[in-house]
Amino acid sequence: MAPGRPAQSPHDGGGGNTNRKRKDAPTNPQHNGPNKRPRQHIDQRQKMRIARTLSTQTTSTAFQNGALDVSSFVKSRAYEIQALENGLQRSKKALNERAFQQVPKELRRRTASHNVKRVPKRLRVRAGREMAVDNTPTVTARRRKPSGHMRLRLETVKKLRALGAKRKAEKDKPKDATTTELLPKDVQPGTVTTAIRTRIPKVKKSLLATPPVPKAKFRKRQIHKSWLPTHLYHAKRARMTAPSAPIWRYAVPLTPTAKSYRPTHRASHDRGAVAWDMSYMSTIQLEGRESSVLGMLKAIGVAEEDLSGRKSNKWRAGVRVLDAFLYERESPHELIAPVTMVWCVYDGTATVMEKRKRKMFLRVHPSAFYQLWEEMLRLAKVAKPAVSVEDLRFEIGSIEITGPGATEALLGALWPSSMASTSNDASDAAITGMDVDATSDHPRSESVGETWQKLAGLTNPALLPQNALLGFNVQDPRLHHPPRTIALLKSDAEQHKLLEISASWPVDAAQKACDIFDRKARHSASTSLPSQKAVNRRKGLAAPGEYPQALPKDPRVPVLLYSSSNATPTNSSKSRQSTAHNGSWTLLAPWKCLQPIWYSLMYYPLSTGQQPRFGGLDQKRQLAFEAGKPWFPGDFPGTKAGWNWECEDRRRRESEWRKRPRGKRVSYEKVELGGGKKGEVGVGWACDWERLLNVPPVIEEAALAGIEDIMDVDGPAEKAGDGTTPAEKAVEDNTKPAEQEKAKENILPLQATPKPPQLSQLSARQALALLASPEAKLPPHINLTSALVTVRLTLLTRGVPHPCARIYRLPTNDPDLRRQWLALLPSNLPHKKQKGSKHALPRLPKDASAHVVQQRLAQSLLEPPRAGEDKYPACPAEEDLVGFITTGNYDLGEGQGTGIGSLLVDRVRDGGAESNVYIVRNAGTGLGRLARWEVA
């Protein structure tokens, strides 16, 4: 029996008009003709009512002649099921039913979502229908009537064009006149041709590079900053720095517009890849005798074993990179920044090592660039024989990419130029005066490019030798755009081959001088990139489904690729070691060639699905945090760059705090610190290093004896540090914080507060040495009382540390409080091996018997006090304050709160058995949490 006639049709009256969003304009009945009916208006309520109405079957249709039998009984119920399920679906859909609302989350957009052409193809027809119903025609940009700002711009363009035409006409006219006049006089044609040749501009060294002149269209927007090569890509998809507030004089993407905290974590750890345009990293080139370059490096604090030890042979040969901390040459030898150094492979003939003339790249964060640059210039002047220093900031761009799919995506984008064309190019090179040595003799072993292509299937660059490096030339990536998924390893044999390569690493032998060190090669690669039109033509000529053939005249883009593993060099905790460290690739390429490479990377279809994600500054910090590594400059407050960053952060936090009404912001002066103390230590929105350094520990009668010796230590050291007498010091101490407070109150400081002169930062290596043996030899200049060491903290109980959280050591002068805190240590708790929630007793079943409940009661009485209870120990006093958290959050990798902060190394050294258990308290709260730290 067929399902009967529905008693109420769900669609009556609705028709195609049910999904209308926009209302019709109010229609005037007088203007409407007699036969023009106003369109039926259906509002949302009615729509919902229609959607929710269920169709039913009457008995007479379900049971013919009223006969009751099994089959019609079953059928009537089947009809009911159908009707109810339809109704469920319909009423769900009635809530969201527009085509663009059904787009997957990461493809959703806010701007122009009404534009039919911007929804995925499968939804386009439906979206078009909806738009037609809504009376919202889709317009093309071409035919749109320019509005507002655009109209102004177009008018300006028109005026400029008129002016240009006029000028051109003027320019052309007298030229014609003069030539006609001059021609009879100027008889020798030969002189004319020679006059055209212009002098090749001499490369100016030791000068700061100027940013490339942008296209006129974009020039006004780059007056006080420069755009990264991929700015247009990012500006569409990411939150950029505000136009008025560039970071490090670049417009830097901060974070993708789409939600990305968890996706970034997943892409970098489990599946996928995350890439950054890191072109803002500055490159400095040193060129000169190897011995004098090494001497310079030694002067700015590269360790001796890195410079001349056997371990660094490969680095000096130019097949590894070196990460090191650089310091200022003059006392107090401040830490400048962590720097990556790359030697160019020496291809010359000089056998004496010291006499070789070589090149080296230093890559440094832009926030510390100027400091390093000044230092380098000063050193280069005194170096003998001379070393030339060159600023390659806008000549070399870089991309960083991490995650299991990183190598794959890079392989899809970087196609090595064929060796066959090398010989052709060698002749070209000879004409342009390039160093021919690199290509004159072909190696019997495979070239670097070939090795590179054999890395397909590598999911973690950390498998390769540490800091391995590959320098080769690649083809224009646009020829292979859109990229296709590369063939991955299928058999065990291939897998073995990959392992073999990573073990033997043939690049060490095959690496020649990389072209990226050569100015001419960089320049020719940038200028000889064909136009997109030419590339398209070539692609059109290629056989369908095939990429165009490589031609010998194709530009060869020099790239340098190096891997860096995230493994911390320090003694990291066991949990950290067990988790797989994901290495990352850094790609250096000429500034102007970076954009096509970026597009190829971003559109590469990964074998695991989806495409590589892009990240902003926030993602960079997030992943550094998850790897437990400090991020420069934010986590190095002892450096100049780090201090500036901290000041910037302070200002931001303060303005955010001030923006809120009084009742809705943390009132720092009322924070209960326990022990009857009230008020936040220092400024609540800052990592208040000044307070930590300047204010002597509060002296109480009971605690006097304990502090005496600390004071003794402090005194002479401070004197040595900045040459003020203790009396002066004390005066300063009293006035300084007050003044600073006042300054903050009155003017929002446009200028960053100057860094306290004593504040300095120890590198991890120094800190480890110092902590391992208290009498370790440190460079004499380091002022121990105010040296900071960057650490990583893991909370032992619950809680999540936030930036600016205060770090305390266990109370030194209050043994009772100290005992209370130690009792909270999870290792001291009786029930350790429990599952479920970390620090609560497991839940009892509902029907637990009375004695079990009683037992539980007793157990819970023995429990250590929970946070928030009266018995929970109070925070230690200010004399035990040792540092601040600079980055803290819930760590998705660890599954608990962790943080990265800095400690005053002097207050850290004298620890007992529980020397690495500290207390972390978030700013604005009175609750301390136990944490364990290790040098990061």
Partner 1 sequence: MVRLKHRYLLVNILYPGPVATPRGKDQQTLPDTIQFHKPTSDSLTPQMLMRLIRDGVAELFGDYGVGVVAGSLQVKYFSAATSTAIVRVSRAHYRLVWAALTFATRLPHPLDEACVMQVVRVSGTIRKSEEEAVRRARMGIRKAQSAGTWMWDESTIGQGHGNVGSEGGSVGGAEAGARPGIEDIEDDRSESGDSGD
Contact 591, 212 (CB under 8 A): yes
Closest distance of CB 854 from partner 1, Å = 30
Q: Exactly one of 57, 572, 763, 790 binds partner 1 (CB under 8 A); which one?
A: 57
Least Cβ distance, residue 97 to partner 1 (angstroms): 17
| Least Cβ distance, residue 99 to partner 1 (angstroms) | 25
The encoded tokens of residue 617 equal: 């500054």
- Interacting span for partner 1 (CB under 8 A) from 62-70, 354-362, 588-596, 813-821: 62-70
Options 83-91, 108-116, 251-259, 700-708: segment touching partner 1 (CB under 8 A): 83-91
CB closer to partner 1, 87 vs 214: 87
Task: Return the H-helix or E-strand segment holding 886.
Answer: strand 881-891
Residue 91 or 102 with smaller CB distance to partner 1? 91
Q: Name the segment binding partner 1 (CB under 8 A); options: 59-67, 154-162, 508-516, 805-813.
A: 59-67
CB of 462 to partner 1, least distance (A): 51
Could you tell me the CA-to-CA distances from 77 to 3, 56, 74, 698 in Å, in that order?
10, 11, 5, 82
Kindly state whether residue 548 participates in binding partner 1, applying the rule CB under 8 A: no
Q: Which of 27, 32, 60, 837 binds partner 1 (CB under 8 A)?
A: 60
- Report the distance separating Cα 553 and Cα 538, nearest Å: 13
Closest CA to 825 of 923, 908, 918: 918
Q: Does 76 bind partner 1 (CB under 8 A)?
A: yes
**Nearer Cβ to partner 1, position 62 or 521?**
62
**Residue 67 binds to partner 1 (criterion: CB under 8 A):** yes
Q: What are phi and psi of 394, to 5 degrees?
A: -100, 15
Q: Under the criterion CB under 8 A, does residue 61 sit at the interface with partner 1?
A: yes
Q: How far apart are CA 436 and CA 429, in angstroms?
A: 7
Burial of 237 (0-12, 13-18, 19+ CB in 10 A): middle
Contact flag: residue 80 with partner 1 (CB under 8 A): yes
> Which amino acid appears at position 57 of this protein?
Q
Are 928 and 808 in contact, with CB atoms under 8 Å apart?
yes
Please identify, using beta-carbon distances, which residue of 3 and 674 lies nearer to partner 1. 3
The count of chain residues that interact with partner 1, using the rule CB under 8 A, is 30
Among 62, 601, 627, 791, binds partner 1 (CB under 8 A): 62
Q: Tell me the C-alpha distance between 899 and 918, whole Å.
A: 12
Q: Does 561 bind partner 1 (CB under 8 A)?
A: no
Q: Which of 17, 91, 418, 573 binds partner 1 (CB under 8 A)?
A: 91
Residue 84 touches partner 1, criterion: CB under 8 A = yes
| Distance of alpha carbon 597 from alpha carbon 394, whole angstroms | 17
Minimum Å distance from CB 63 to partner 1?
6
> Residues 786, 907: contact at Cβ < 8 Å?
no
* 3-state DSSP assignment of residue 856: helix
Short-list 360, 361, 301, CA closest to 336: 301
Name the residue nearer to partner 1 (CB basis): 58 or 432. Answer: 58
- How far is the C-alpha of 921 from the C-alpha of 805, rounded, in Å? 5
Record the tokens describing residue 434, joined without a space: 């390039």
Q: Is-contact 133 20, C-beta < 8 A?
A: yes
Q: Which of 9, 32, 46, 59 binds partner 1 (CB under 8 A)?
A: 59
Peptide bond into 633 cis (omega under 30): yes
Which residue lies nearer to partner 1 by CB, 93 or 742? Answer: 93
Number of helices (H) and strands (E), helices first, in the chain? 32, 24
Residue carrying structure tokens 């150094």: 341
Compare residues 66 and 676 and give the one whose CB is closer to partner 1: 66
- Cα–Cα distance for residue pair 550/479, rounded to 1 Å: 9
User: Which of 52-60, 217-225, 733-741, 830-838 is the region at the interface with partner 1 (rule: CB under 8 A)?
Assistant: 52-60
Q: How far apart are CA 833 and CA 251, in angstroms?
A: 51
Q: Considering only 84-92, 666-674, 822-830, 846-854, which stretch makes contact with partner 1 by CB under 8 A? A: 84-92
Cβ–Cβ under 8 Å, residues 372 and 365:
no
Q: Is 927 in the site for partner 1 (CB under 8 A)?
A: no
Stretch that binds partner 1, among 77-85, 232-240, 319-327, 484-492 (CB under 8 A): 77-85
Q: Decide: is 6 part of the binding site for partner 1 (CB under 8 A).
A: no
Is 77 a residue that touches partner 1 (CB under 8 A)? yes
Window 615-674: residues binding partner 1 (CB under 8 A): none
Instruction: Using DSSP, state whether 389 is helix, strand or coil.
Output: strand
Interface ranges with partner 1 (CB under 8 A): 4, 52, 54, 56-63, 66-70, 73-74, 76-81, 83-85, 87-88, 91
